[in-house]
Structure 1
Amino acid sequence: MIIGTGSDLCNIERIQASLDRFGTRFEQRAFTEIEIAKAGRRPLTRAGTLAKRFAAKEAFSKAVGTGFKRGVFMKDIGVVNSPSGAPALALTGGARARLDALIPEGHVAKVHLTLTDDHPWAFAMVIIEAVREE
């Protein structure tokens, strides 16, 4: 069963402006070390890489119905990639706790994530599904 959905459209140029203005302070506040490292390996598309991840964080916070309050922080929501390159969310702290609280007993959470960008826009969609435990 679907527990929640969220989407977000992020302006890549807005993320670049934040990087230009606040530098590592912005990165450290909003992104995980894994996300910062990935963006660092993409110097020509660094802002776009971070914008997609920023959009994913926003989309997840909408899918769980809290936004960034009630213990859900940006750094608790990290985008990671599987060996195939598919994006997924790594959740810790309040983000993990909020997700766990939404899942009915006898079910496990499955979080679906898709990312895309077409300058100047980055987009993310999150679907949270509760799947019956086997």
Structure 2
Amino acid sequence: MILGIGTDLANIDRIQNTLDRFGDRFRNRVFTERELSRASSRAHEAATLAKRWAAKEACSKALGTGLAMGISWRDMAVSNLRTGQPVMELTGWAAERLAEMTPQGHRAIVHVTLTDDHPWAQAFVVIEARPDPLEQRQQPGPA
């Protein structure tokens, strides 16, 4: 079952202007070390960070909270599998919110997809709950 859907569109030039103006202060406030490492290894750091910015915005929307309700930017982190597929890892308040919205006997999966075509970066996040056979086996049956 789908628990939440979020999308966001970010302007790469706007992210570049923010990097130029605030530098590491912006980088360290919004992005994790892993995200920054990935971005610094890419030809277009701003495009890489803009996609991750959009993913964090989209994830906060999928969680039903937006960023105004206590989720920290760094509570949501995008990394990539060896195949290049992006994955979203939640920690802190974002992980707590995800646990609250996940029905008992299910496990949550956060799907994320990213794209960019200068000057735009876009992300979609879908949060899915799948029955967890292991957890369901441990549930007591009806009395």
Q: If the length of structure 2 is used for normalisation, what is the TM-score? A: 0.91
1:81 corresponds to 2:85: no
Please say which structure displays the higher CA radius of gyration: 2
DSSP-derived class of the 1:69 partner: helix
SS in 1 for 2:14: helix
- Work out whether 1:31 is the aligned partner of 2:21: no
CA RMSD after TM alignment: 0.7
Q: Cα offset for 1:83?
A: 1.3
CA distance in structure 2 between the partners assigned to 1:65 and 1:87 by the alignment: 21
Q: Give the Å deviation of 1:28.
A: 0.3
Match of 2:116 in 1: 117
Q: How many residues align?
A: 133
Tell me the CA shift for residue 12 of structure 1.
Answer: 0.2
Q: Which residue of 1 aligns with 2:126?
A: 127
Superimposed CA distance per residue, residues 17-61 of structure 1 (whole angstroms, 9 cap, x where no aligned partner): 00000000000000000000111101x310000000000000000
What is the one-letter code of the residue matched to 2:5? T
2:97 corresponds to: 98
Q: Which runs of no fewer than 5 residues in structure 2 stay unpaired?
A: 134-143
Taking structure 1 as the reference length, the TM-score comes to: 0.97
In structure 2, what is the Cα distance between the partners aligned to 1:123 and 1:69? Answer: 20
| Distance in structure 2 (CA, Å) of the matches to 1:4 and 1:133 | 18
Runs of 4+ in 1 over 3 A off after TM superposition: none
> What CA distance in whole angstroms lies between the structure 2 residues aligned with 1:54 and 1:60?
10
Distance (Å, rounded) in 2 between the aligned partners of 1:47 and 1:12: 6
